[in-house]
Structure 1
């Protein structure tokens, strides 16, 4: 039986239904719901038994106790799955290249007789290659341009003003209070420049 690894069992207590998935795009197709005649009969028996009581109610209880495991390979479920496969097969093709089941609408190359994974459509492949090359060329052109000539890379960039706490987008001075974003102090002993907040000179150890 085909479709043994790409379908889901959606059956419930009332009947059988299955969903088959394309192994390339993941699109799913559901088979028509097939009502279980035996379960329908048991439901009717339970309804009649609850109405009349007595022996019929005992038969209804027996029907409830009779376990019908749909997860096993029952003959009723096999027939339902066979019917679902016959219904859904026209929507799928099995690729002889990779052996996967593909939906005929989106993932099948009718001209070649293989799936689009094994035999992509030439025009689509050219389009993807052109788009990929264009993207790579844009990145190459962007790398060739000097985007740093107007930037001060020698000063540590600050995102918050040390005086007023305003968030800033770099630069030398705060747009909110005008304070320097990279304040410095000079050692009175050796003249070495140090960062604001430093207590001792990193060059001579003199207290700032």
Structure 2
């Protein structure tokens, strides 16, 4: 493998520099379906040692006092000393392993997994979709579009049965519940099929009226006209 580092855009660095769990690990993902593969965890011994030293130093500081600050600085220096070189080496090893799980598309240059790559064409499924899959999808789409067209024609033939002249109340004027054009409110049972009528002057009351617009009588005494 050359010194060039590939996979520059499709990986996450999961490495940890400090602590007893310090180590290197990288997660690579397919640039087509986003499935992931993680490189084996490689421990960073200097970082782990610094983690143990920090814990020992913390215990000693609690017992003896005065050691915390200087020891923390020393421990951090140990962890930082070889981090960059060790990470680069671990990253190169991870890339070598990742090349067994991903393929580079000759057209878009994306790195994709085995399922998203065609070895025959050297292209990913995005650049060269599987013909059988596309044909099956096109057949289904054709059936769907034809079914929609048939449904529209059927709907047009049934339009004459729909009552389009009768006014419908979509919201109950008494409780505010959505009535969906029914004859009665599904929440409070208020009758919606006919408009309210003022008990004083028998004028029709607009939906939601609190008083009769003709005589001023409170609308809560109104009766249905139907």
Q: Aligned residue for 2:28? A: 20
Q: How does 1:1-208 map to 2 (within 5 A)?
A: 1-12=5-16, 13=18, 14-46=22-54, 60-66=71-77, 68=79, 74-104=84-114, 106-145=115-154, 146=156, 147-162=158-173, 168-170=179-181, 173-174=183-184, 176=189, 180-181=193-194, 196-197=205-206, 199=213
Structure 2 CA distance for partners of 1:166 and 1:8, relative to 1, 3 Å: closer
Q: Aligned residue for 2:224? A: none
Please give the alpha-carbon distance, in whole angstroms, between the structure 1 residues aligned to 2:196 and 2:58.
89
Listed as ranges, the gaps of 5+ residues in structure 2 are 207-211, 215-226
Structure 2 CA distance for partners of 1:183 and 1:31, relative to 1, 3 Å: same
Say which SS state the counterpart of residue 125 (structure 1) adopts: helix
Tell me by how many angstroms 1:69 deviates: 5.7
Say which SS state the counterpart of residue 33 (structure 2) adopts: coil
Tell me by how many angstroms 1:40 deviates: 2.8
More helix by share: 2
Structure 2 CA distance for partners of 1:102 and 1:37, relative to 1, 3 Å: same
CA RMSD, Structure 1 to Structure 2 (Å): 3.7
Which has the higher relative contact order, 1 or 2, with Cα contacts under 8 A spaced 6 or more apart? 2
Please give the alpha-carbon distance, in whole angstroms, between the structure 1 residues aligned to 2:80 and 2:106.
36
Per-residue CA deviations over 1:115-153 (Å, capped at 9, x if unaligned) read 000111111111111122222122211111224322222
Please give the alpha-carbon distance, in whole angstroms, between the structure 1 residues aligned to 2:35 and 2:138.
25
Please give the alpha-carbon distance, in whole angstroms, between the structure 1 residues aligned to 2:192 and 2:57.
89
Per-residue CA deviations over 1:153-202 (Å, capped at 9, x if unaligned) read 2233223455787754425x4385666345689xxxxxxxx9643846xx
Q: Aligned residue for 2:217? A: none
TM-score of the two chains, using structure 2 as the length reference: 0.67
TM-score of the two chains, using structure 1 as the length reference: 0.72
Say which SS state the counterpart of residue 32 (structure 1) adopts: coil
Listed as ranges, the gaps of 5+ residues in structure 1 are 186-193, 201-208
Whether contact under 8 Å (1:93, 1:102) holds in the other structure is yes
